[in-house]
Structure 1
Amino acid sequence: MASTEAAPPPGGALIRPAVAADAAALAAFAAQAFHDTYAADNDPQDMRDHAARHFGAALQAAEIADPQARTWVAEHGSTIVGFLQTGPEPPPSHENGVGSLRRLYVAAAWHGRGLARELVETACAEAAARGWRGLWLSVWERNPRAIAFYAKSGFADVGATRFAVGNDLQRDRVMLRRF
């Protein structure tokens, strides 16, 4: 298991493991970050449905408590400015022994400040400590900025999968970083 000591990344945010008391603030941050990232290209009802299914406070509390998952928050003062979550889900491929980078979001005001890179490295350190040989993720094929960021962070495009946003079944790129 990775250290639970918080480490300040560049830009003044502090990354630490999430705790149960973070659930409501994390749910609000996650829903807003998802909206900010994808609302311009998606149906508003699909966005609301997705947020309701994936970002509620009770769900965040359950995910924080899940011993198979790891959730980390990045804070500036007492405000969440980013988070990540890893889990044991196998990729939609024949790769064995890797975990998933389920979620990684950074507030728009923090883009370009090194926080996303620090969150990726936190996820990779956590995964390696759990004995995984790599991490996979899926990223919407219409998000070239994120795809370029993950490629720069050592993830290779290894295929495609489907991802539902509400009733809209979209195509995601599957990316893998081996350790």
Structure 2
Amino acid sequence: MQQIIVRKITTADIIELQNIGKLTFAETFSSGNSEANMKQYLEDGFSIEKLAAELIDQNTEFYFAELDGKAIGYLKVNVGQSQTESKDEKALEIERIYVLKEYHGKKVGQILYDKAIELSNEKSMVYVWLGVWEENPRAIRFYEKNGFVAFDKHVFKLGNDDQTDIMMKLNLN
């Protein structure tokens, strides 16, 4: 397998980001959710307007994992007021690590995760946190393997469905 490159996403990449965002979210969650809820979330959550606003937000960063110039996964991190919860100035939130299904098990998620930790250290953060769907055991195991521990739960709305995310945290010191 060729080397995977991690590259910061810019507004010029918005269509590619929208495409991989929708595809990876659908691959990950379609089987456990209604078609109507998925359709609504994909339209709202990955609209060009929403992605454009996120891409110009100084407290949000996106990165592609690329193989042969093709995006095969991506990372979204937030700090400061752009975090979905917490808003702690000493914390970095990993909001998304998604990898195309055909590349699962090939360390792409780990490479993106390592980038998030590198960013946390560059920004002198004290801890990293994230929310993971309670019905996604693969992701929960991944984060536990990387030292995360559950500390709370919160509700994530997918269309008209209230779902529970386990909030997990990793202290960096």
Which of 101, 115, 118 is matched with 2:111 structurally? 118
Question: Quick one: which amino acid aligns to residue 159 of structure 2?
Answer: G
Q: Percentage identity across aligned positions?
A: 27
Aligned Cα root-mean-square deviation (Å): 1.8
Which of 63, 88, 93 is matched with 1:72 structurally? 63
Question: Quick one: which amino acid aligns to residue 81 of structure 1?
Answer: I
Deviation of 1:57 after TM superposition, in Å, equals 2.7
Deviation of 1:68 after TM superposition, in Å, equals 0.8
In the comparison of the two structures, how many residue pairs are matched?
Answer: 169
Gaps of at least 5 residues in structure 2 are none
User: Does structure 1 residue 131 correspond to structure 2 residue 124?
Assistant: yes
Counterparts of 1:135 and 1:91, CA distance in 2: 12
Deviation of 1:56 after TM superposition, in Å, equals 1.9
Question: Quick one: which amino acid aligns to residue 124 of structure 1?
Answer: I
Secondary structure of the residue that 2:59 maps to in structure 1? coil
Secondary structure of the residue that 2:74 maps to in structure 1? strand
Contact preservation (8 Å) 2:2, 2:68: no
Q: Give the structure-1-normalised TM-score.
A: 0.88
Which of 8, 16, 41 is matched with 1:50 structurally? 41
Which of 162, 166, 172 is matched with 2:165 structurally? 172
Deviation of 1:149 after TM superposition, in Å, equals 0.5
Gaps of at least 5 residues in structure 1 are 1-9
Contact preservation (8 Å) 1:128, 1:134: no
1:144 match: 137
1:23 match: 14
User: Does structure 1 residue 61 correspond to structure 2 residue 52?
Assistant: yes
